[in-house]
Structures are given as C-alpha cells and as structure tokens.
C-alpha cells in the first residue's frame, strides 16, 4: 500500500507562505480533494505531493508497505492529468500512445486500439495532436492517466474544456479508480470531486 506522509510541511515563495505547517497523510485506496480559491496553494500542494518541489520546512515521505520509495523510482508510481500538462504536438495519437507506453504499462493489458476506443478518439488515430480540439486534448490527458498502471493518480481541474458527454465519461472512468489508487483531485468545481472521501481545504 502506498502512502504519502506530510509532517509539519510549509512552502514559501519569495518570502510569502503558501502552505503552512501541514500535517496529514494520504493513503492508497482513498480519494482526496484539494480545494480552495485561486492562489490558495492547490497547485503548490500538488507539486509537493508529486515530489516536483521541496518543502521550505517540514518533511514529506513517500512510502510503500511501510518502506521509503527510492526517489529515482517515484515517478513509476504516479500519473498526472492537468490543463498545463504538455503533449508532444508533432506526434500523431498513435505515435504519442506508443511513446507514452514505453514508460508506463497499460491497465489490464489494453492495446493501443482499446485505449483509443475507450477515449472515443479512434477516428483521430493518425491526426497530429496539434490539430486536436481543447476538449480532445483534455480527454487524451485523462486517458493517459486513467489507462496507465499506477498507485497514485493526480488530477488538476480534470473537466476543463470537457463538454457534458465527456464529463460523464470522466466520472465513469474515475469510478473505476475508486478503492484501488490513491486519487488526488485539485479543483474548485464540486462536481469534479463528488466521490472524494476526504477534503483538504486551502485558504
């Protein structure tokens, strides 16, 4: 079981505290919402949890079955879907999936064809990512996260640019993650995190 432990964690930028003295733990099988107004520190806390930045004070521990996870292997345990996430726009969908799954393992042995069908993007197989609509790109980002084996799933504003049909697809896929992965959703939209067990509210 994977666990992230925060022990009196604080983070400051340019002498301004964004996160102050936070102590909590996040456990695999549970779902957590990071909520709060813009500028409250949701993205900062997400970066801290992912190990993309270090705390100014305090300690963050990444553990699996009670043992520390080697920082060099930490990336193997997590996936991310976020509006600011970069995609290789020169690649076609087929090429991007081939590249992505050189580093990740598809869930349940899914093939590229299976994954394209699950994302409703089969017709765009040979289209360059640069020609995808914003909604198609967001569905692709979510699909790469949902359909990659991982213990930890980070979602930042997951329904950005999605229409009602795609939002329903998001909730269907998210339901399949519940009780299995450690899921963290950073959002201001309650409909995005209705299934979360816990809420970390930042002000």
Predicted TM-score of the model (pTM) = 0.93
Looking at residue 26, its pLDDT comes to 97
Given a cut of 90, whether residue 155 has pLDDT beyond it is: yes
Average pLDDT over residues 59-81: 94
Average pLDDT over residues 65-89: 93
Distances (CA, A) of 175 to 114, 121, 179: 19, 21, 9
Q: Which of 118, 116, 101, 121 is nearest to 172 (CA)?
A: 118
Q: Pairing mode, if any, of strands 31-35 and 16-27? A: unpaired
How many domains, the chain?
Answer: 1
Given a cut of 90, whether residue 39 has pLDDT beyond it is: no
Over the chain, what is the mean pLDDT?
Answer: 95
DSSP state of 131: G
Length of the chain: 203
Distances (CA, A) of 64 to 3, 130, 176, 180: 6, 38, 22, 14
Beta bridge partners of 150: none
Q: Read off the CATH number of the domain in which 21 is found.
A: 3.40.50.300
**Can you give the residue range of the structural domain that contains 53?**
2-201
């Amino acid at each position: 079981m994977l666990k992230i432990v925060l022990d009196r964690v604080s983070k400051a930028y340019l002498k301004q505290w964004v996160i102050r003295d936070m102590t909590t733990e996040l456990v695999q099988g549970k779902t957590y919402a990071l909520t709060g107004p813009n500028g409250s520190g949701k993205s900062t806390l997400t970066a801290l949890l992912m190990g993309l930045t270090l705390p100014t004070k305090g300690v963050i521990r990444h553990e699996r079955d009670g043992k520390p996870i080697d920082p060099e292997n930490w990336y193997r345990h997590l996936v991310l879907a976020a509006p600011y996430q970069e995609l290789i726009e020169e690649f076609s969908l087929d090429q991007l999936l081939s590249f992505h799954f050189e580093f990740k393992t598809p869930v349940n042995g899914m093939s590229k064809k299976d994954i394209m069908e699950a994302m409703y993007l089969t017709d765009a197989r040979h289209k360059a990512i640069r020609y995808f609509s914003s909604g198609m790109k967001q569905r692709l980002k979510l699909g790469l996260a949902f359909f990659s084996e991982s213990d930890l799933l980070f979602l930042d504003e997951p329904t950005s640019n999605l229409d009602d049909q795609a939002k329903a697809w998001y909730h269907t896929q998210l339901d399949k993650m519940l009780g299995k992965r450690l899921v963290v959703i950073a959002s201001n939209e309650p409909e995005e995190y209705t299934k979360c067990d816990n809420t970390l509210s930042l002000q």
